[in-house]
């Protein structure tokens, strides 16, 4: 019997004007596990994560986090209870140095591991630069470091592997595994099928405004419709 989710966005519906993006979509994250949300471009993965993080208001549905139900969640409230939302880009301010932004996280949530985490992510020598002075991969690693230093109960990561090279992706995968080992519940989205399937403990597939729990990556890759309509040649 799997553990109860720490986080779940349940039966979420969302329309933008006449266009319905989400009909009844759900995603969840369990302690120490990495849930990967797959789906085609524009199917509503980012919208679902933003609703889960309290950045967008759902038309219907409920967000459950750390034992509380929220009809209208707001990120500051969820964040103070342990949620961290990592957007597909620009988590960090372009103007302030990475060090200044990490200090803000340490001030708010404490933490004495920043030196170790920065070292593990290979950005300890870059902290006095602003994110605008970093490459895409370095910036992504700095963002992941910020999330890791916060030590969240739940991390919602929108396309963490988008636009970065394979060596950066390996470092980030390792960081996610470490975070999960420390008990963090992670939801990640993306299109990097091999990378994400190898990282995931649980797969959720989004299609036509709704979601399907696919189970473990092995189970998911045996699912005929999922293989045919999403994985294609990537997982044969």
Partner 1 sequence: MRRTTERTHLAVDSIGLPYPRYLGTVIRRSVLVWLLVRITYVVVLMAGVLSFGLLSLPEGISAGLHPAWTIRVFLVMVAAFLVWWDRRRSHELLLHANLGAAPGWFWTASLLTALVLDVAIQAILEML
User: Which spans of this chain sit near partner 1 (rule: CB under 8 A)?
Assistant: 55, 75-77, 79-81, 84-85, 87, 90-96, 100-101, 103-105, 107-109, 146, 150
Closer of 128 and 170 to partner 1 (Cβ): 128
Q: For residue 160, give Cα distances in angstroms to 61, 165, 175, 222.
A: 26, 12, 11, 25
Closer of 106 and 201 to partner 1 (Cβ): 106
171 and 143 Cβ atoms separated by less than 8 Å: no
CB of 161 to partner 1, least distance (A): 19
CB of 215 to partner 1, least distance (A): 30
CB of 140 to partner 1, least distance (A): 14
Q: Dihedral sign for Cα 16, 20, 22, 23, please.
A: positive
CB of 32 to partner 1, least distance (A): 21
Closer of 92 and 171 to partner 1 (Cβ): 92
What distance lies between CA 168 and its chain's CA centroid? 16
Place of tokens 């649980």: 202
- What is d(CA 31, CA 153) in angstroms, rounded to the nearest whole number? 8
The residues, any chain, with a CB within 8 Å of residue 83's CB and separated by 6 or more, are: 7, 53, 65, 75, 152, 153, 154, 155, 156
CB of 77 to partner 1, least distance (A): 7
Give the tokens for residue 84. Answer: 């961290």
Closer of 87 and 215 to partner 1 (Cβ): 87
Closer of 62 and 75 to partner 1 (Cβ): 75
Q: What angle do CA 187, 29, 168 make, to 5 degrees?
A: 25
Other CB atoms within 10 Å distance of the CB of residue 106:
14
Closer of 51 and 203 to partner 1 (Cβ): 51
CB of 200 to partner 1, least distance (A): 23
Give the tokens for residue 140. Answer: 């992504």
Q: Are strands 5-16 and 19-30 parallel, antiparallel or unpaired?
A: antiparallel
């Amino acid at each position: 019997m799997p553990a109860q989710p720490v986080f779940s966005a349940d039966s979420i519906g969302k329309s933008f004007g006449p266009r319905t993006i989400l009909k009844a979509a759900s995603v969840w994250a369990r302690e120490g596990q990495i849930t990967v949300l797959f789906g085609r471009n524009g199917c509503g993965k980012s919208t679902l994560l933003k609703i889960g993080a309290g950045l967008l208001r759902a038309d219907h549905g409920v967000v459950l986090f750390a034992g509380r139900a929220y009809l209208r969640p707001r990120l500051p409230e969820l964040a103070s209870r342990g949620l961290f939302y990592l957007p597909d880009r620009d988590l960090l301010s372009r103007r302030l140095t990475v060090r200044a932004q990490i200090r803000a996280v340490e001030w708010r949530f404490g933490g004495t591991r920043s030196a170790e985490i920065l070292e593990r992510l290979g950005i300890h020598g870059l902290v006095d630069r602003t994110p605008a002075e970093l490459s895409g991969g370095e910036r992504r690693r700095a963002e992941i470091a910020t999330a890791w230093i916060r030590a969240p109960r739940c991390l919602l990561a929108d396309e963490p592997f988008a636009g970065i090279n394979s060596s950066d992706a390996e470092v980030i995968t390792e960081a996610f595994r470490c975070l999960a080992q420390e008990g963090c519940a992670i939801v990640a989205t993306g299109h990097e099928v091999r990378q994400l399937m190898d990282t995931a403990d649980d797969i959720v597939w989004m299609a036509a405004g709704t979601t399907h729990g696919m189970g473990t990556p092995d189970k998911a890759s045996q699912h005929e419709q999922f293989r045919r309509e999403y994985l294609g040649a990537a997982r044969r």
